[in-house]
């Protein structure tokens, strides 16, 4: 899919941008050679996530770093200059930027090529599913710097693959190839490298044609439900479920089912 409509540039040569076509918004990382996630790029990701959330012409989102690399982590040279006081201030902004991506109320897929390490892996964890190329490598190597993941890795990774596997990756800092990442549930699909973006965009395009409010309800019910006890989660589900009976999409879907059979509704 070739993107046609771009958002306003945050700079003359933005390190990331939002490209939109046929309901699919691609957040494209573009900071050669490794898409290092410096402070400016973190803030830009937060802004782009907000834009993808607000824009009605964006119905699903792909996060993509290009054909060679997703994102190889934070900008270590920049981080080395920060002392404790500076990072106390910055760490909140770092997490808020990634949380803004995780909270996009629309289906989000990470199209992972090459390296997704450190902050790059944490960014992929913010998506709803991850499609990786055969030669992709993922990991949380912060321990090798005397650190731990700081953009959500200790929390999102353990929720995704379980605490034991998360501790293995975080304690050792080792990188895993796509096949192992798929085996442990870190990625959901492994495809030829040349097909990563195409398949991610196809997944997003399929959902972009779906009922937007119902998709939002499903995502928020799952995500917020996992952060609380089951009774509260059931209440979240119940409220969304009943609320959808007030939508045009619900009427469209049920009418189509009765008159034409399942799976034929066209949602506006």
pLDDT of residue 8: 40
Residue 249 sits in the same domain as residue 194: no
The pLDDT-based confidence of 11 (bands split at 50, 70, 90) is: very low
pLDDT value of residue 5: 41
- The domain that holds 58 is classified in CATH as 3.90.226.10
Tens of pLDDT along 170-203? Answer: 999 999 999 999 999 999 999 999 999 999 999 9
Cα–Cα distance between 221 and 173 in angstroms, integer?
32
Q: 25 or 83: which carries more pLDDT confidence? A: 25
Beta bridge partners of 61: 25, 108
Q: What is the pLDDT of residue 58?
A: 98
Q: Where are the alpha helices (DSSP H) in the chain?
A: 39-54, 76-80, 84-102, 119-125, 153-161, 163-172, 178-184, 196-208, 212-226, 230-243, 248-260
Higher-confidence position of 23 and 79? 23
Does the structure show a pLDDT above 70 at 12?
no
| pLDDT tens-digit series, residues 91-103 | 898 999 999 999 9
Return the CATH number at 234.
Answer: 1.10.12.10
- List 20's β-bridge partners, or say none: 5, 25
Domain of residue 35, residue span:
5-208
Share of the chain above pLDDT 70, in %: 96
Q: Report the pLDDT averaged over residues 30-55.
A: 96
The total domain count for the chain is: 2
What is the average pLDDT value for the chain, to the nearest integer? 93
The residue with tokens 């002392």 is: 83
Please say if the pLDDT value at position 37 is more than 80. Answer: yes
Catalytic positions are 74, 119, 122, 142
Residue 267 is assigned to a structural domain of this protein: no
Whether residues 142 and 234 fall in one domain: no
In which residue are the tokens 């009774």 written? Answer: 231
pLDDT of residue 89: 85
Residue 199 and residue 247 in one domain: no
Q: Give per-residue pLDDT as tens, 193-241.
A: 999 999 999 999 999 999 999 999 999 999 999 999 999 999 999 999 9
Would you say residue 138 has pLDDT above 60? yes
12 and 136 in a common domain? yes
268 within some domain: no
Question: With b meaning 16 or more CB within 10 Å and e meaning fewer, what string describes 73-93?
Answer: bbbeeebeeeeeeeeeebeee
State how far the Cα of 119 lies from the Cα of 205, in Å rounded to an integer. 26
Within a domain: residue 222? yes
- 122 and 234 belong to one structural domain: no
- Are residues 188 and 254 located together in one domain of the fold? no
């Amino acid at each position: 899919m070739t993107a046609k409509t771009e958002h306003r540039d945050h700079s003359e040569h933005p390190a990331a941008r939002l490209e939109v076509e046929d309901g699919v918004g691609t957040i494209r990382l573009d900071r050669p050679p490794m898409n290092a996630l410096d402070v400016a790029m973190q803030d830009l990701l937060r802004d782009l996530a907000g834009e993808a959330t607000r824009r009605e012409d964006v119905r699903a989102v792909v996060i993509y770093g290009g054909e060679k690399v997703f994102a190889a982590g934070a900008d270590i040279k920049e981080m080395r200059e920060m002392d404790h006081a500076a990072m106390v201030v910055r760490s909140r902004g770092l997490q808020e930027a990634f949380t803004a991506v995780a909270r996009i109320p629309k289906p989000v897929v990470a199209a992972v090529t090459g390296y997704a390490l450190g902050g790059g892996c944490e960014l992929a964890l913010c998506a709803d599913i991850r499609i990786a190329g055969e030669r992709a490598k993922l990991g949380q190597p912060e321990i090798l710097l005397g650190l731990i993941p700081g953009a959500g890795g200790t929390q999102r990774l353990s929720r995704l693959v379980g605490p034991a596997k998360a501790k293995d990756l975080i304690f050792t800092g080792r990188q895993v190839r796509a096949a192992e990442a798929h085996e442990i549930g870190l990625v959901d699909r492994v495809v030829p490298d040349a097909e990563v973006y195409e398949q991610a965009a196809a997944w997003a395009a399929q959902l972009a044609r779906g009922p937007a409010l119902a998709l939002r309800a499903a995502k928020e019910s799952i995500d917020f439900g996992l952060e609380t006890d089951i009774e509260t989660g059931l209440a979240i589900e119940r409220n969304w479920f009943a609320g959808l009976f007030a939508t045009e999409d619900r009427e469209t879907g049920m009418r189509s089912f009765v008159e034409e059979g399942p799976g034929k509704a066209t949602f506006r």
